[in-house]
Amino acid sequence: MWQKILCVCLLLPACVQARVWLGEVSRVSDGDTLWIKAGRGVAPRKVRLLGLDAPELCQPGGVAARTALQALVAHKPVQVNVNFQDTYGRDLARLQVDGRDVGAALVGAGHAWSSRWRGSLGPYAVQEASARAAGLGLFADPAAELPRDFRKRQGPCRPVR
């Protein structure tokens, strides 16, 4: 029995490896969600950036976060490293553009928080600390509210164009 468990444990990491593909951004919905086409004739896929949480569009800093993401990825080839799919069917992924980690760039410029989970400060904690120390973007406001807290208090935003 323990041999079967050991085999499953050894094979599991191979099953959950990231799926990598290339594409071009067709639309940016907000500061952490975008649509990417993998090629001609292929429908764009909805992708949420993994490891960060950008403000909602109706939240202070939300439109600036979307604009910053657009500036980083618009009309450029991107490498998509999909780790999971969420309950909404979006790919949860890390993006690379011009050899640069898009999530690290957004958090480092103060346009998003590093995702916090179970006591962890998240993958971009160093970039967030640097942006906080410099008072960049969201972190210029000491009362900036985490998007998850904003959503709990405010509920979902109405669509903003």
Active-site hit among 45, 48, 66, 94: 48
Set 56, 94, 128, 145: catalytic member: 56
Decide if 128 is catalytic. no
Neighbours of 29 (CB within 10 A): 15
Q: Which of 27, 45, 66, 90 is catalytic?
A: 90
CA gap 59, 43 in Å, rounded: 30
- Asked about 56 being catalytic, the answer comes back as yes
45: annotated active-site residue: no
55 CB-near residues (< 8 Å, 6+ apart):
31, 61, 62, 65, 112, 138, 144, 147, 150
H or E stretch including 93? strand 91-97
Residues involved in catalysis: 48, 56, 90
